[in-house]
Each structure stands twice: as structure tokens, then as C-alpha cells.
Amino acid sequence: MVVGDFPIELDTLVVGAGPGGYVAAIRAAQTGQKVTIVDKGALGGVCLNVGCIPSKALIQAGHRYEYAHGSDDMGIKAENVSVDFSKVQEWKASVVNKLTSGVEGLLKGNKVDIVKGEVYFVDKNTVRVMDDKSSQTYTFKNCIIATGSTPIELPTFKYSERVLDSTGALNLKEIPEKMVVIGGGYVGTELGTAYANFGTKVTILEGASDIISGFEKQMTSLVKRNLKKKGVEVVTEAMAKGVEETKDGVKVTYEVKGKEETIDANYVLVTVGRRPNTKEIGLEQVGIELDDRGLIKIDKQCRTNLENIFAIGDIVAGPPLAHKASYEGKVAAEAIAGENAEIDYLAIPAVVFSEPELASVGYTEAEAKEQGFEVSSAKFPFAANGRALSLNNSDGFLKLVTRKEDGLLIGAQIAGPGASDMVAELGLAIEAGMTAEDLALTIHAHPTLGEIVMEAAEVAIGSPIHIIK
């Protein structure tokens, strides 16, 4: 290994090039900082390469395959529909390549220096960057750590060709006949649904009493109903015990209601959460404070206990969401530049690309009451929306949570088609301090799914048009 003789001096160093790191680097460069970004993996991190983007591509391909079989109630019939899964994977890879090459172009266009290698912190102003051939020391004035997270591996389910993490499930070369999914969170539900749409017999084992924790039961019940229609079996309060790999697949053992059960499948996908990538990078050497879960402690500007080192994304408290990491990256970069930027998570959305899609922003009704608010809730069903009916996709509802005293919008939940896109308007309304009346007075185009926001707001102010008060 060749070792650099002299340290290279940097202004702002960003460690990790995922959606938190590369956004932080670009924003820092825009504020006049000289920025270097380091990552041992591909630009774009987990999200662009083996997470958000490829999973949504696979989900969309599954929808297309499902739709291609026709819709009898609309008078559309189709025969001999087939899928070339190798082509699906090629297309998915092309989507990823377009975005990752785009990230490289954006970094270079903003004059961000890109370095490949693994980072180890020496002290609060120094890192060593290593690859297979060399090691170079860098000194920096400020640093943003954005090293992301890794799927948790269960001791009794060691990853292999048949025991998969989310990356392995996204890169299968074949459509499995049967798949067991351990963990009914958003990743397990999304990927389980995608493969079910391709015809896989999917069984989801969830240890809690319901799938997709964090969303209201009225919302998750719609997802479970649709999973059942697809032949997906959801087993809740189930404890996965172990796996035996066979010649052609796996035999999974689990316990439910005190009884041990086994199930055979081609693959088992383990999606039980992620752990922060904060080990073995020298944080203890520097004295950066971690909590008992291995997350880096930060203040409202994403600053650690060391004045010049910041941390963002999956390695700090909060949900492991790409858009949260990007938001925090901007805050950290602006704080380094001396701007008065602080994190405020109230209007941060959460989305699950299930069927129907789920989205939530701000407080749920229960959370608002826990915070001491007196609130009202107003719901409007997709079944009363013309666009949803014309899409033949009218399951679900939109719910607004407003402060009783003045109608201020403090939360919203959506279960239905287009929820992932519709939630942005509601996030903006919360961020801007809008009331239900403001939303009701906003003219929405007809016929659109977005009209449901206006309709629910009219329910909230007591003047609904398209449902009986």
C-alpha cells in the first residue's frame, strides 16, 4: 500500500455520497465552500443504487405486468401475457445508471472534488482515506458525515444466495415461485407486493400486531386487504426462528401463538430494519458522542459535540428517509456557511409505495392529542372522486388534522392512488401555516385526484359539496 507523504488540505469534507452527502456537498459548494466528497461505493449511495430508485422501478414493472393482464370490469381482456425478467432487470439498471451518472455530473458541475476510498478519522481535523492500493491523509476545516446505514442481519438468518437482504431481492435473476418476507415494514411490504404482482406466492411474517408501523390502522387495513387479493399471506405476531437451506430453496421456521410452523420457499427476504454505519470509521478516536443505538448525537444545525463536524441521514435520530437526509444535508452545509439554518421535522412526509399508496405528514390525530392539541379530523373518500373512479382505483381516503381553535392544518394522512405525490401539497400547507379554509378556497383542477384535498378541507370547515354532511 502506498501512503501519501503529505496531508492534503481541504475546506469542507463530506463523507458519504448518498442522498444526504451529495446534496450537502452541492449546497456547500453553492455557498462558496471548496468541497471534497469521499465514498468507497457508487455515487448516489444505497438510495439510488440499491434502494429507493431500483425498488420503485421494480414496483412499477410489477404494476405494468399486472395491468397487462387486462381488466375485465372495464371490458379489457388480454391473453398470453409474459415477462422477460432479465429485461426487467436491464431496464431497472438503466434507470439507476441515468441517475447515478447525473449525480456525478452535478457534483462536477458544482466543482466538488470526488475521491474514492474508505474514510477513517484520525482526529477532529484529519482523516485517512484508503483504497486497495493507497492511503492518503487529508486535513479539513469542517466535515459532514453522511455514511448511511446497512440492513440488519439476524443471527439465525445469515445472508446467502437464498437468504436475502433488500439488495439481493432487487437483483434476483428469476421470478421466484415462493418467497417469505421477514418484516412487514415499508421495505418488506413494497418488495413483497412487487413480487406478488409478478406472480410470486408471498408470505409476510411480522413480529408486531400490524404491518407498516407508524401508519394508522385504517390505512394499513386497506393494504392488507389488497395483499390478500393478490394471494399474499400476512402473519402478524410471528417470531422468525431460523432457516434451513435446501437444494432448491429454504425452509423457514417461525412461531405464532405459541405454535411452531414451517414454510418452504425459493428465497427468504429479511427486512427487519437498518443499523447506522458509525462503527469502524474512527469516531471513538475523535470523541464524537453516540447514543445507545449507535446514532450520532446532533443539535438543531446537525452539529455533533465537535464544533466543526456535522452528521446527517441514517446515522442520526429519526426515520431513515432519503429526503430527510437531503434536507439535513442542506441545513448542515448552510450552518457551516454561517447561515441561520435549523432542522424542523414537522412537515417531513413519510410514504409507502404499497397498494394503495400510503402517505403521512405532520401529526396524526393521536399524536396531536398526545402533544396537547385540541384537534378535529376531516375525511374524504377516493370513492367520491371522479378521477379515482375513472382510474378504476378508488380505495382509500384523505384525512386532515386541524387545530380546533383556528382550523390550522397540523397533519394529514392519505391512503389511495397518487398519495406519494399528493402529500407534497399538504406538507407545503403545514409549512406555510395554512388553515383548512385556505385549502378549501384554493381552486383545484377537475377531474384530478388533487381535488380530494379541497374536498376534505370543505368537510373540515363544515361545507362539503360531494358527500353528505
Q: Is 120 annotated as belonging to a binding site? A: no
Element (H, E) at 420: helix 419-431
- 147 labeled binding residue: yes
- Binding residue per annotation — 374? no
Taking phi over 0 as left and psi of -120 to 50 as alpha, with beta for the rest, 384 belongs to alpha
The answer to the question of whether 386 is labelled as a binding residue is no
273 assigned binding-site residue = yes
The single residue of 323, 444, 446, 466 carrying the catalytic annotation is 446
Q: How many Cα neighbours within 13 Å face the side chain of 448?
A: 11
3-state secondary structure of 273: coil
Tell which residue, 21, 322, 3, has the closest CA to residue 145: 21
Say whether 150 counts as a known binding-site residue. no
E strand or H helix at 241, and its extent? strand 238-245
Enter the C-alpha cell of residue 343: 432542522
Evaluate whether 390 touches 382 at the Cβ level (below 8 Å): no
262 labelled binding-site residue? no
H or E element at residue 122: strand 118-123
Q: How far apart are CA 322 and CA 56, in angstroms?
A: 13
> Is 427 part of any known ligand binding site?
no
CB contact burial 171-197 (16+ within 10 A = b; e otherwise): ebeebbebbbbbbbbbbbbbbbbbbbb
> Is 446 annotated as catalytic?
yes
Give the residue among 6, 281, 322 at the shortest CA–CA distance from 117: 281
Q: Is residue 372 a known part of a binding site?
A: no
Is 138 annotated in a binding site? The answer is no
* Backbone CA torsion sign across 446, 439, 396, 227: positive
Residue 207 annotated as binding?
Answer: no
Residue with cell 422501478: 57
* Cα 343 to Cα 307: distance, rounded to the nearest angstrom: 17
399/459 Cα distance (integer angstroms): 10
Does 148 show up as a binding residue in the annotation? yes
Amino acid found at 14: V
> Is 45 annotated to bind ligand?
no
Assign residue 11 a region (left: φ > 0; alpha: ψ between -120 and 50; beta: otherwise): alpha
> Does 56 belong to an annotated binding site?
yes
Alpha-carbon distance of 10 to 439, in angstroms, equals 48
d(CA 463, CA 469): 7
Strand partners, 245: 250
Ligand-binding annotation for 188, yes or no, is yes
Which residues carry a binding-site annotation for NAD(+)? 183-190, 206, 273
Which residues carry a binding-site annotation? 56, 147-149, 183-190, 206, 273, 314
Which residues carry a binding-site annotation for FAD? 56, 147-149, 314
Q: Which residues are catalytically annotated?
A: 446
